[in-house]
């Protein structure tokens, strides 16, 4: 049964408000803090040699980070979407909208339609991703893309959020078939994404098998929809707070990704450009940012977000020069140390961290460093992991 538009509109406004409140008491630490680069004092290059442009599958983006799907569907979120669109246009970053299902179910509601359409109206030449929940029809995929003249379609897989959402779905049994159908129907490539709980190694393999070419692992450590939905429950239906921390971080997902994964995007808990650098070093082709950019827009609209993104682009360029990476994919040759809880995850999943800590040596040709060279006995699965490679194309 289709939910009335006003219920979904109220939920979207709740999400924005609760996500914003959550940032005030936000836990500063996340898995990106368990990653360190080995500093090589003679490996730097000139910032003039650095380009931020990146390839995501067959797309060429001018920056290796983008504004992830959040808003649209109400008057208030239309204002935010407009600010995000202007920021995307002014800084040439790709941008996604929040779920358009509310617009598909209320085609005659001008406020709802405009709250999404503004993304394209303000940013006519930009790279725009429409966003739809799994379970929607093939026709909906086409209409979602049409609404925004979108370049790609994000399909969100949000089972954890649905579980805790008071009015959420309780049946996920047909999701794989649904994704398959949406991929077949969509006139533009589908990006499968989580909403902050991570895509596991097995999920990434399945997505690849059913034809998904790009996946955003969107992991834990940033906006927490378990807490957001829990705050929308009341005492009668009971809290799910005992599940706090459920899921995997973006860093964990990237480290655990299989060789046959789709092209990888990473998001979840990205706070600053150093997190972007770390996600790129672990194999992401670009990095999504939601909560951090929403906070900037809430503070001062596009006038605050545009200079913030400008600073990120500059700082990213300088960090890449320090790390000797002329383009984002070259960050995959850096030596990365994994510590703390993230190292524990890797140990339990059989991921070789010694190879990752010394992978630049294979470029210099001094020593072949990879999983087989590790003292930890690698599992067959781990030997396929992207971190074993110091190449441009870690996932294929
Ligand atoms: C207010 C808000 C609304 C969101 N709405 C959607 C949505 O409609 N569809 C979706 O795929 N993801 C949605 N997300 C999830 C983000 O795209 C992202 O996956 C998640 O917030 C983790 O990134 P972050 O830690 O940078 O916020 C939303 C996030 C926020 C903060």
Instruction: Give pLDDT tens digits for 277-305.
Output: 999 999 999 999 999 999 999 999 999 99
Give 292 Cα–ligand 1 centroid separation in angstroms: 11
**Confidence at residue 394, expressed as pLDDT on a 0 to 100 scale:** 38
Share of the chain above pLDDT 70, in %: 90
| C-alpha to C-alpha distances, 248 to 251, 266, 306, nearest whole angstrom | 8, 12, 30
Is the CB of 70 inside a 6 Å radius of any atom of ligand 1? yes
Contacts of 362 (CB under 8 A, 6+ apart): 368, 369, 370, 390
Q: Which two tokens stand for residue 376?
A: 């930890």
Give 327 Cα–ligand 1 centroid separation in angstroms: 27
Yes or no: say if 227 and 21 are a contact pair by the CB < 8 Å rule: no
Q: Which two tokens stand for residue 320?
A: 């890449």
**Confidence at residue 19, expressed as pLDDT on a 0 to 100 scale:** 96
Mean pLDDT of the chain: 91
| Res. 374 pLDDT band, cuts 50 70 90 | very low
pTM for the full model? Answer: 0.93
Q: Give the pLDDT confidence of 54-83 residue by residue, as tens digits.
A: 999 999 999 999 999 999 999 999 999 999
**Confidence at residue 26, expressed as pLDDT on a 0 to 100 scale:** 62
Is the CB of 73 inside a 6 Å radius of any atom of ligand 1? no
Among residues 206, 259, 210, 247, the alpha carbon closest in space to that of 393 is found at 259
Q: Give the pLDDT confidence of 229-253 residue by residue, as tens digits.
A: 999 998 788 999 999 999 999 999 9
Residue nearest to atom 29 of ligand 1 (CA): 70
DSSP run (H or E) holding 371: none
Among residues 246, 307, 257, the alpha carbon closest in space to that of 279 is found at 257
The β-bridge partners of 220 are 249
3 state SS for 38-67: CCCCCCCCCHHHCCCCEEECCEEECCCEEE
* Mutational pocket test of ligand 1: of 100, 195, 218, 224, the residue with most ligand atoms within 8 Å of the beta carbon: 195
Give 63 Cα–ligand 1 centroid separation in angstroms: 20
| Res. 4 pLDDT band, cuts 50 70 90 | confident
Total residue length of the chain: 396
* Domain architecture of the chain: domains with CATH: 5-32+49-329 (3.20.20.70)
Mean pLDDT, rounded, for 23-40: 90
2 by Cβ neighbours in 10 Å (0-12 / 13-18 / 19+) ranks as exposed
Is the CB of 262 inside a 6 Å radius of any atom of ligand 1? no
Is the CB of 270 inside a 6 Å radius of any atom of ligand 1? yes
Mean pLDDT, rounded, for 322-342: 98
**Confidence at residue 235, expressed as pLDDT on a 0 to 100 scale:** 73
**Confidence at residue 27, expressed as pLDDT on a 0 to 100 scale:** 64
387 has a pLDDT exceeding 80: no
**Confidence at residue 370, expressed as pLDDT on a 0 to 100 scale:** 33
* Mutational pocket test of ligand 1: of 15, 67, 70, the residue with most ligand atoms within 8 Å of the beta carbon: 70
């Amino acid at each position: 049964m289709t939910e009335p538009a006003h219920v979904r509109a109220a939920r979207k406004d709740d999400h924005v408000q609760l996500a914003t409140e959550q940032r005030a008491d936000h836990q500063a630490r996340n898995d990106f803090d368990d990653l360190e680069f080995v500093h090589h004092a003679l490996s730097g290059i000139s910032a003039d040699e650095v380009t931020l442009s990146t390839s995501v599958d067959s797309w060429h983006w001018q920056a290796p980070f983008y504004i992830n799907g959040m808003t649209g569907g109400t008057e208030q979120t239309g204002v935010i979407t407009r600010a995000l669109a202007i920021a995307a246009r002014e800084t040439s970053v790709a941008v996604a909208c929040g779920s358009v299902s509310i617009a598909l179910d209320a085609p005659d509601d001008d406020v709802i339609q405009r709250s999404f359409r503004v993304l394209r109206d303000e940013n006519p030449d930009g790279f725009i991703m429409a966003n739809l929940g799994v379970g929607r029809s093939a026709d909906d995929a086409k209409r979602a893309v049409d609404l925004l003249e979108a370049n790609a379609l994000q399909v969100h897989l949000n089972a954890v959020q649905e579980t805790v959402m008071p009015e959420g779905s309780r049946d996920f049994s047909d999701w794989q078939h649904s994704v398959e159908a949406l991929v077949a129907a969509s006139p533009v490539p589908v990006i499968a994404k989580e909403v902050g709980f991570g895509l596991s190694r097995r999920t990434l393999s399945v997505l690849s098998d059913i034809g998904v070419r790009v996946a955003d692992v969107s992991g834990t450590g940033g906006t927490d929809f378990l807490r957001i939905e829990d705050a929308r429950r009341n005492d009668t239906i009971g809290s799910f707070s005992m599940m706090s921390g459920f899921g995997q971080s973006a860093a964990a997902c990237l480290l655990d990704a299989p060789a046959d994964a789709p092209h990888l995007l990473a998001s979840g808990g990205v706070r600053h450009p150093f997190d972007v650098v770390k996600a790129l070093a672990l194999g992401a082709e670009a990095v999504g940012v939601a909560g951090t950019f929403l906070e900037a827009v809430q503070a001062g609209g596009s006038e605050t977000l545009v200079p913030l993104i400008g600073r990120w682009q500059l700082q990213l360029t300088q960090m890449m020069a320090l790390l000797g990476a002329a383009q984002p994919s070259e960050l995959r040759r850096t030596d990365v140390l994994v510590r703390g809880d993230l190292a524990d995850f890797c140990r339990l999943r059989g991921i070789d961290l010694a190879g990752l800590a010394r992978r630049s040596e294979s470029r210099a040709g001094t020593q072949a460093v990879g999983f087989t060279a590790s003292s930890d006995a690698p599992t067959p699965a781990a030997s396929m992991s992207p971190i074993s490679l110091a190449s441009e194309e870690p996932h294929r």
